[in-house]
Structure 1
Amino acid sequence: MLKAHVAAALQGAPGDAGRDVLPYAMQVSVWARWVIALAAAVLLLYRPEFWFPDEPARPFLLIALVAVNGLAHARLLLRRPVTRAWLLLLSVADVVLLSAAIGIGDGFDRFVFAAYYPALAMFVLVFPSVWLALAWTSLTAAACAATTLIAAGGLDFEAGDERALLGRIAAMYVLALCVLLITRLERERREAALVRERRLHQERADLSQEVHSTIAQTAYLLEQGIRRARGLAGESNEELTAALDASWSLSTAAVWEARRLADSGRLFEGRALRPTLWGHCETFERVTGVPVSLSQSGTEPPLPVETRGRLFAIAHNALTNAARHAQAGAVTVRLDFWADRVRLSIADDGVGLPDGYQDRGRGFQGMAADAEALGGSLTVQSGNGTPGTTITCVAPLPKPEPGG
């Protein structure tokens, strides 16, 4: 039974919400060991009479700790996968080194036992299984008790050694139980939040499909009908022509906004940013008659849906500005991906922007807010004797986890 729990804990469930804890847990444990190693080195150098010549093995334990932790730290720096098996190996190394440190000491007179507690808490954080936590706590307690008794040469009942030993062991179980309960509660909340987020994404994708099948199609047919009516009316009635032109403009805007909802929903279905933008640019060209070109440099990495959604929104608003206000004859959209950032630029050859454009409407305010939410910046180049407008957003790419 325990073997099955160990195998399940090491493998983890598909889509486990706790997988993102592993790189962070390894980072914390690595830096905690460096602090312990530094403190041990200072003590060895500052008070050598505490260990030499009676305990010459202590420097070798420090070397072993540095070697094990250095290997783990190198794995993090090289962005190698962080697995539960690696963290289990580090936990085993912690128990072995701590037990050895107690074993070569005086048993009850050493404070090294206190390091068992953070090592135990880290194990329970990574392996939130009741049976596995109890088994590991029992193993750790047995190692602590055995090495303490061996080093001390038995129990001194007059000195109250049995109470000290029982207190240390009881504290281990209490600590493991508290960390286990808190960890399980937090993970249940996290998993529930992920389920809600996935449900919302699915609802958004379903809504976009519904918009595509109903509203967008209806708006398109309405726009085509008004266009045909405008052609039939000709110039015979100026008032009718003006009314049809206004209705045509409104219907075109309605088609464009409906397509925004439909196209952006594909992001929630997992589609990458570039093909989604390309489809939206084709829609723009079909609706407005303004030709659009899309180019890309670099390879698009897997991006969170929020990053893709906000970049899509910036591109949509920039295209809307080019169609409604810039009187553009052509638009160029470009995506540039680097290792640590992405740049989205939309350039048109229109008449440029008027003074105070930032305060007119919500388009530019929304683009600036989206760029800021991504941790990036939005720049607008227009005027200064140069025709057209270029809107550029530069945002950092989300850093992949060391285990990812």
Structure 2
Amino acid sequence: MLKTHVAAALQGAPGDAGRDVLPYAMQVSVWARWAIALVAAALLLYRPEFWFPEQPERPFLLIALVAVNGLAHARLLLGRPVTRAWLLLLSVADVVLLSAAIGIGPGFDRFVFAAYYPALAMFVLVFPSVWLALAWTSLTAAACAATTLIAADGLDFEAGDERALLGRIAAMYVLALCVLLITRLERERREAALVRERRLHQERAELSQEVHSTIAQTAYLLEQGIRRARGLAGESNEELTAALDASWSLSTAAVWEARRLADSGRLFEGRALRPTLWGHCETFERVTGVPVSLSQSGTEPPLPVETRGRLFAIAHNALTNAARHAQAGEVTVRLDFWADRVRLSIADDGVGLPDGYQDRGRGFQGMAADAEALGGSLTVQSGNGTPGTTITCVAPLPKPEPGG
């Protein structure tokens, strides 16, 4: 049964929310070992008479620690996947090196045993299984007890060293269970948050379908009716014509915003960014009569729904600006994907932007906020004697989820 638990823990469950903990756990453990190595080196150099010539093995333990930790650190620096198998290997190395340090030293009175506790806590954090936590704690406790007993001085039973040793071992189990409890509570909290997020995405998708089936269709029919009435009215009544023109503009804006809700909802159904943007561009061209082209370079990777949603919102606001204020005759939308970042640009051939456009309305403020939320930047190129406006958002791509 234990073998089954070990295999399942090393494999990891599909979509395991704890996988993103692995790189962070690796970094923390690596830097903790470097700190221990520095302290050990300082102690060896400061008072060499405490270990030489009686304990010449100590420098070799330090060399082994540096070699193991250097290999793990190099893997991090090279961007290699951090797996549970690697962290298990490091945990084994920790126990072996600590036990060896106790075994070749005076044993019980040494403070080296205290390093067992953070090593044990790191193991339980990475492998939050009750059976594995208890099994590993038992192995660690056995190693600690065995090396203490076989050390040079062993235990002084008359002084009650055995009770202190039992207290150290009991503290290991208490620590393991406390870390296990905290890890389980945190995992349950994250899983509950994921369930709420999935439910919210489903509700958004259902809302977009409802908008598409009712509000968007109704607004479109209303816009078409006003357009037809405007054609029938002609120029016979200026007041009626002005009223119909205003109503037609409002209905067009309503259709466009309704389509935003309907099209963005497809992102919550799992659709990629490019086809969603393409459908929205077609809607823009149909509603406004302004031609739109969409091009892409690179391959779109799987993106979180937040990233797709914010990029979509930036594109929508830029298209809205081109239709309402720029008097554009053509709009070009472009997506560029690289290994570590994405660029979205929307360019029109309109009249450009007036001075102080950043403070007018909330469109540009919203685009800048979306770009900032993605960890990127928004740039606007307009004026300087050239027609048109180009809005560009460059944002880093989220790192892919590491394997378990």
Cα 1:44–1:153 shift into 2, 3 Å: closer
In 2, Cα distance between the equivalents of 1:323 and 1:26? 51
Checking the alignment, whether the CA contact within 8 Å between 1:80 and 1:403 is kept in structure 2 is: no
The aligned residue for residue 208 of structure 1 is: 208
CA displacement 1:68-122 (0-9 Å, x = unmatched) = 2222222222222222222112111111111111111111122111110000000
Aligned partner of residue 108 in structure 1, secondary structure: coil
Cα shift at 1:137:
0.8
Task: Return 301-310 or 201-210, whichever deviates more.
Answer: 301-310
**Is 2:19–2:401's contact at 8 Å kept on the other side of the alignment?**
no
In the alignment, is the contact (CA less than 8 A) between 1:130 and 1:180 conserved in 2?
yes
User: Secondary structure of the residue that 1:350 maps to in structure 2?
Assistant: coil
CA displacement 1:138-185 (0-9 Å, x = unmatched) = 110011000100004543112221122112111111111211111111
Q: Distance in 1 between matches of 2:202 and 2:402?
A: 29
Give the whole-Å Cα distance in 1 for the aligned partners of 2:295 and 2:385: 26
Deviation at 1:234, TM superposition (A): 2.7
> Which deviates further from its counterpart, 98-107 or 389-398?
389-398
Q: CA deviation at 1:51?
A: 2.2
How far off is 1:232 after superposition? 2.8
Partners of 2:96 and 2:216 in 1: CA distance: 66
How far does residue 123 in structure 1 lie from its aligned partner after superposition?
0.6
Return the offset for 1:403: 5.0
Separation in structure 2 between the aligned mates of residue 212 and residue 15 of structure 1, nearest angstrom: 32
Q: How many residues align?
A: 404
Moved more, 256-265 or 35-44: 35-44
Q: Spell out, residue by residue over 1:333-389, the C-alpha distance to the aligned partner (whole angstroms, 9 max, x if none).
A: 122333333222211111122232222221112112212222222222222211111
User: Is 1:79–1:402's contact at 8 Å kept on the other side of the alignment?
Assistant: no
Matched, 1:331 2:343: no
2:106–2:154 Cα contact (<8 Å) kept:
no
The within-5 A match list for 1:198-347 is 198-347=198-347
Matched residue SS, 1:333: strand
Asked if structure 2 preserves the Cα contact closer than 8 Å seen for 1:22 and 1:403, the reply is no
Deviation at 1:253, TM superposition (A): 0.9
Q: CA RMSD in A?
A: 1.8
Q: Give me the whole-angstrom Cα distance separating, in 1, the residues matched to 2:356 and 2:64.
A: 66
After the TM superposition, which of the residue ranges 270-279 and 344-353 deviates more from structure 2? 270-279
| Contact 2:106/2:151 (8 A) holds in 1 | yes
Rounded to whole Å, the distance in 1 between the matches of 2:49 and 2:199 is: 64
Question: Partners in 1 of 2:152 and 2:171 — Cα distance?
Answer: 20
Any idea what the Cα deviations from partners look like across 1:218-244, whole Å, max 9, x if unmatched?
A: 222222222222223333333332222
Whether the 8 Å contact between 1:290 and 1:330 is mirrored in structure 2 is yes
Q: Structure 2, unaligned stretches of length 5 or more?
A: none
What SS class does the counterpart of residue 155 from structure 1 fall into? coil
- What's the CA shift string for 1:254-309, capped at 9, x where partnerless? 11111111111122222222222122111111111101112223333332222221
1:6 aligns to 2:1 (yes or no): no
> Deviations 1:4-50 (Å, cap 9, x if unpaired)?
32222222222221111111111111111111122222222332222
Taking the aligned partners of 2:27 and 2:302, their CA distance within structure 1 comes to: 23
Per the TM alignment, residue 390 of structure 1 is displaced from its structure 2 partner at its CA by 1.6
Q: Is the 8 A contact 1:81 1:403 kept in 2?
A: yes
Runs (5+) with no aligned partner, structure 1: none
TM superposition score normalised by structure 1:
0.94
Q: Residues 126, 83 of structure 1: CA spacing in aligned structure 2 closer, same or farther, 3 A cutoff?
A: same
CA distance in 1, matches of 2:240, 2:326: 27
Q: Tell me the SS of whatever aligns to 1:152.
A: coil
CA contact (8 A) 1:352 1:388 kept: yes
Instruction: Identify the residue that residue 88 of structure 2 maps to in structure 1.
Output: 88
Asked if structure 2 preserves the Cα contact closer than 8 Å seen for 1:80 and 1:402, the reply is no
